[in-house]
Structure 1
Amino acid sequence: MSEIRKLETLSYQIIDRVGLITLDRPDARNALNLQMRADLTEIILEIRHDKDLAALVLTGANGAFCAGGDLKSLSENRRPITENRTRVQDLHLWFRELVDLELPVIAAVDGPAFGAGFNLALAADFIFASPRARFCAVFGRIGLVPDLGGFYTLPRLVGMAAAKDIIFTARTVEPEEAKSLGMIRDIIAGDKLLEHALTFAGQFRNASRDAIGMSKTILNKAFELDQRALSEMENYAQAMCMESEYHRDAVARFLGKKPLRFNWDNEKIK
């Protein structure tokens, strides 16, 4: 376990090759302000270049995941409309890196995940939630449209009709409904949530990061590209994987009737 690295709005540590980002603004229920954007940018870019990591867990401290954008800081000064546009554009500089991070990302959501915090959770590949988790595309309540990638992630997870329902009504979605929609993987007791997420993430330690990473990159393009373009991405990715040490070792193990390094069916949490 690495030493916990404290930034102004979050902490980061590595636990047996699993990165753990914990949002930590207790006075604002971990709301996303400019400093948190800067801190997330720093850590996510660092994670992108850490080839030893097997997975990443994203969570919040103090009984909240992320209460959304910090409305107080957003409303302190009026700005030209072009500056507002730039501020929203700047969100995607680090958010795109998180969505496209070529390793499994797991969100452990306890308490509110509202607005930008909701969309931050949706950037993960897997979401586990406690019974007191609450999800809400709250933007409509204050006359805004979803930002931080909500138009991209939500319809892909729940379908267009459900996405319109959640966005237009700006209603709260509780864990049971979120699970039925396929938004979250499971509901875990609050005192076991982080442990469960870390254990789940740790099961990727013996997987091929290259194969998962390339699969994730292609899947993230699956709704935009036609079959021919996706086939070309598949061709190049498979050609690279076939020449990897990981694949050669797996074939040797299979032919030698030895256990494979990565077999999800044999793992503790499925």
Structure 2
Amino acid sequence: MIRTTIENGVATVTLDNAERKNALSAAALTALADTVEALRCDATVRALILTGAGGDFCSGGDVSAMQGPADAATVRRRMIENQRPCAALATFDKPVIAAVDGVAYGAGFSLALMADFIVASERARFCLAFARMGLVPDLGALHTLPRIIGAQRTRELVYSARELPAHDAQALGIVLEVVPSEALRARAQALALAMSAQSTDAFAMTKRLLAQTFERDFGALLEAEAGAQAIALTSPYLREAAARFARKEAPLFRWPKHDREA
């Protein structure tokens, strides 16, 4: 259901139900939340890759589990439990990269949006398919997507429930990079490894500040920035980075070049 490997400080969390295109059951969502929360507490983990098995990322919620009688109060309680992975990923204070191959539909698309970056294969397809089933977008998509592409584009994708090819998603700013399917895992791993070399404290503080940028006024954000920078400027990481700069040595962190930049 959820498969996890850790290599060189990078945890790869794989949605593993390939026969159903990694559809999200309630049990899978609980397992995902538990996994991410445990990895957050693991000091050896410095970055996380979220991906799917069998050539697809995630086809969305398990439609078969949505059928049958249920009252609204019961469904609401179940939805609140199902939202746990959103909170776990949103507050994960290390880099999160979604490696999307094949379909990222419905809640699968929502889940990918919780990552810091989405890297997609050329055959990836994104769709907020909720309207096709008479449903409301969930797992936080109505919060994350407008902050990436704006309100009007979000309305268009939500109301139309149209499929978005990988390069179109990149043009809108949803996807960071598009790579051949066979290069997807390696590119996600390269990005995760590079980002894991950053200062964990500085990254965590930056991520928290970015998450607050639309909720705080400018003065409050400047005050929070000053406090964060005070910690970063007195850190051992800064001392080592500055010493390397003075010695003209390779920096601790460098963004990995894309093949097209090589």
| TM-fit CA distance, 1:207 | 1.0
The AA in structure 1 aligned to 2:135 is L
Return the alpha-carbon distance in structure 1 between the equivalents of residues 162 and 208 of structure 2. 31
In the other structure, the counterpart of 2:9 is 17
| 1:54-109 C-alpha deviation (Å, 9 max, x unpaired) | 2111110112110000010121x322211111122222323112022111111111
The AA in structure 1 aligned to 2:153 is A
Aligned residues: 259
The AA in structure 2 aligned to 1:57 is I
Return the alpha-carbon distance in structure 1 between the equivalents of residues 51 and 146 of structure 2. 23
Cα RMSD (Å): 1.4
Correspondence 1:1-270 to 2 at 5 A: 9-75=1-67, 77-264=68-255, 267-269=256-258
Structure 1 unmatched ranges of 5 or more: 1-8
The share of aligned pairs that are identical, in percent, is: 39
Contact 2:241–2:251 (8 Å) recurs in 1: yes
Moved over 4 A (4+): none
The AA in structure 2 aligned to 1:100 is T
The AA in structure 1 aligned to 2:87 is R
Return the alpha-carbon distance in structure 2 between the equivalents of residues 94 and 210 of structure 1. 23
Q: TM-score w.r.t. structure 1 length?
A: 0.91
Return the alpha-carbon distance in structure 1 between the equivalents of residues 245 and 178 of structure 2. 36
| 1:112-147 C-alpha deviation (Å, 9 max, x unpaired) | 100000000111111111122110000011111100
The AA in structure 2 aligned to 1:116 is A
Return the alpha-carbon distance in structure 2 between the equivalents of residues 89 and 35 of structure 1. 13
Contact 1:100–1:220 (8 Å) recurs in 2: no
Contact 2:106–2:128 (8 Å) recurs in 1: yes
Q: TM-score w.r.t. structure 2 length?
A: 0.94
Return the alpha-carbon distance in structure 2 between the equivalents of residues 92 and 110 of structure 1. 23
Contact 2:121–2:178 (8 Å) recurs in 1: yes
Structure 2 unmatched ranges of 5 or more: none
| 1:181-232 C-alpha deviation (Å, 9 max, x unpaired) | 0110111111111111111211123211111111011101111111122112
